[in-house]
């Protein structure tokens, strides 16, 4: 994906996590993503602190409302760009798209375990493959 944050544009792999549910499009990134991308939290504005339920129990994370714009970049096309909340995780090692962001980007999960997906407007015989995880 192409992620635009605080005047910077970064390309990264993000996991589509339909179990990460929220009312608004959200992109969760590890704190290390900001550090390695040269993005200072001070450049993002004032965050909200939101408690998320995770498999390991509740975790409080910083949420910067509408702080990023995200598009899926493939060799043959780029999705529309979507404004999303940026969620900073002190624990996660991968970037994660929530259910709302997945839908707004027009991504349809065909076989999550195998990493098969397509855009909602791709022909029915089009199957795309996920990229290898990118750990931060």
Identify the CATH number of the domain in which residue 87 sits: 2.40.70.10
Could you tell me the residue range of the domain that residue 61 belongs to?
A: 2-129
Contacts of 26 (CB under 8 A, 6+ apart): 20, 63, 84, 85, 86, 87, 97, 98, 100, 101
Residue 136 maps to a domain:
no
DSSP, collapsed to helix, strand or coil, labels residue 35 as: helix
pLDDT tens-digit series, residues 94-133: 999 999 999 999 999 999 889 999 999 999 999 999 998 8
Residue 84 maps to a domain:
yes
For 121, counting Cβ atoms within 10 Å of its Cβ (0-12 exposed, 13-18 middle, 19+ buried), the class is exposed
Cα–Cα distance, 72 to 101 (Å, whole number): 11
Prediction pTM value: 0.92
> How many structural domains is the chain composed of?
1
């Amino acid at each position: 994906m192409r992620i635009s944050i605080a005047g910077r544009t970064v390309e990264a792999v993000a996991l589509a996590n339909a179990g990460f549910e929220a009312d608004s499009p959200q992109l969760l990134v590890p704190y290390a993503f900001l550090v390695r991308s040269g993005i200072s939290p001070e450049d993002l504005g004032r965050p909200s602190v939101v408690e998320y339920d995770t498999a390991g129990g509740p975790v409080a994370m910083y949420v910067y409302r509408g702080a990023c714009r995200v598009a899926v970049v493939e060799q043959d096309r780029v999705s529309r760009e979507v404004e999303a909340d940026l969620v900073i995780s002190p624990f996660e090692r991968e970037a994660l798209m929530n259910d709302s962001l997945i839908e707004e980007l027009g991504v349809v999960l065909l076989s999550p375990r195998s990493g098969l997906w397509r855009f909602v407007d791709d022909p029915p015989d089009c199957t795309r493959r996920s990229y290898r995880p990118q750990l931060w």
